[in-house]
């Protein structure tokens, strides 16, 4: 038998520095009885998107971009290579039945939580419609849920013009009794991106809305800290929902609904860090990335960096 000098069958030809641990090396496939620090699940569903979207491809692309980052923080002078990430894989959705797919997402997140394998969790969408079944599962498992939503849009569209879509998750949660309007905070709402009807709906339901003008005048970190303090007195657990179209199109070109005037990538990362430092923050979803529309994985790489800010806090 000939011994190969340079070939490594079944392995990628990737350079390895013995002193560097990449974040993707910390992913551990779930097995029965496994315990870890972070639970990761993919919700690859975008068939209910109101605009053409291949956001269902985002979970695998975001995971791949974890290899772009090391586990060492020079700013904190700390290596997080011992933080274990239990990867529960991706949910197998139904090819044609949309309601069945939504239920499969709900059941899968609920079953992940019932394993009690991790302290905190990250859900990778998919379009923003996946937040509806995911947050429902957290409500059932933990009790009262508070949500901080980074988004250019309210996502409280009516359910008559197309049923449940990526524009309806928070209306679905509120109308279904899974989330109180007063426990929802929306950050980064953009001007000329929503209808007056939905603007009025947020007021009627007591949703706390912070526009881009509010961020410009007050700063995003003070807003996040203020709402964390308020929510922590009302809820059992806080869930972060990050719609990447909150970020300016210059930094996140891979969103189906890109637009100018959003927050910067630095504002996103800093605000996630501020939120993740609170003890009641147990979960984060990242949604609305279409890799087919992206450029050099700019948006998926920003999503991977957002994961780091949530995990390594």
The annotated binding site for Mn(2+) is made up of 128, 151, 153, 155, 243, 245
What are the distances in angstroms from CA 146 to CA 174, 188, 210, 241?
12, 17, 16, 11
Distance CA 27, CA 172 (A): 33
Q: What length is written for the chain?
A: 313
Task: Tell me how crowded residue 175 is: count the other CB atoms within 10 A of its CB.
Answer: 13
- Direct distance between the N- and C-terminal alpha carbons of the chain, in angstroms, rounded to an integer: 50
Asked whether the beta carbons of 238 and 280 are under 8 A apart, the reply is yes
Distance CA 119, CA 246 (A): 27
Distance CA 73, CA 34 (A): 27
Asked whether the beta carbons of 185 and 147 are under 8 A apart, the reply is yes
Tokens of 53: 């979207």
72 pairs with which residues across the strands? 79
HEC profile for 273-309?
Answer: HHHHCCCCEEEEEEECCCHHHCCCCHHHHHHHHHHHH
Cβ-defined contacts of 106-111 (< 8 Å, 24+): 106/133, 106/134, 106/136, 106/137, 108/41, 108/43, 109/41, 109/43, 109/133, 109/134, 109/137, 109/138, 110/137, 110/140, 110/141
Radius of gyration of the chain (CA): 19
List the binding residues. 128, 151, 153, 155, 243, 245
């Amino acid at each position: 038998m000939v011994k190969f000098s340079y070939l490594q069958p079944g392995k990628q030809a990737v350079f390895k520095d013995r002193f560097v641990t990449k974040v993707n090396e910390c992913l551990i496939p779930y097995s029965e009885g496994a315990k870890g620090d972070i639970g990761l699940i993919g919700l690859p569903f975008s068939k209910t998107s109101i605009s053409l979207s291949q956001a269902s491809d985002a979970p695998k692309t975001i995971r791949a971009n974890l290899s772009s980052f090391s586990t060492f923080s020079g700013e904190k002078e700390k290596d997080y290579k011992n933080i274990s990430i239990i990867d529960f894989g991706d949910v197998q959705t139904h090819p044609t039945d949309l309601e069945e797919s939504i239920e499969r997402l709900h059941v899968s997140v609920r079953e992940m939580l019932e394993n009690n394998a991790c302290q905190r969790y990250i859900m990778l969408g998919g379009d923003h419609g996946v937040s509806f079944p995911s947050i429902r599962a957290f409500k059932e498992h933990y009790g009262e849920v508070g949500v901080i939503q980074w988004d250019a849009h309210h996502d409280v569209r009516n359910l008559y013009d197309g049923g449940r879509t990526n524009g309806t998750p928070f209306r679905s949660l509120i109308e279904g009794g899974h989330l109180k309007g007063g426990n929802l905070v929306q950050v980064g709402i953009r001007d000329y991106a929503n209808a007056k009807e939905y603007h009025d709906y947020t007021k009627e339901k007591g949703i706390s809305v912070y526009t881009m003008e509010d961020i410009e005048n007050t700063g995003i970190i003070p807003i996040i800290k203020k709402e964390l303090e308020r929510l922590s007195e009302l809820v059992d657990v806080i869930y972060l929902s990050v719609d990447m179209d909150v970020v300016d199109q210059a930094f996140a070109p891979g969103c189906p609904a890109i637009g100018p005037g959003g927050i910067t990538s630095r504002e996103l990362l800093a605000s996630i860090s501020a939120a993740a430092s609170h003890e009641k923050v147990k979960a984060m979803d990242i949604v609305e990335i279409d890799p087919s529309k992206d450029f050099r994985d700019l948006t998926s790489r920003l999503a991977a960096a957002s994961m780091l800010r949530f995990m390594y806090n």
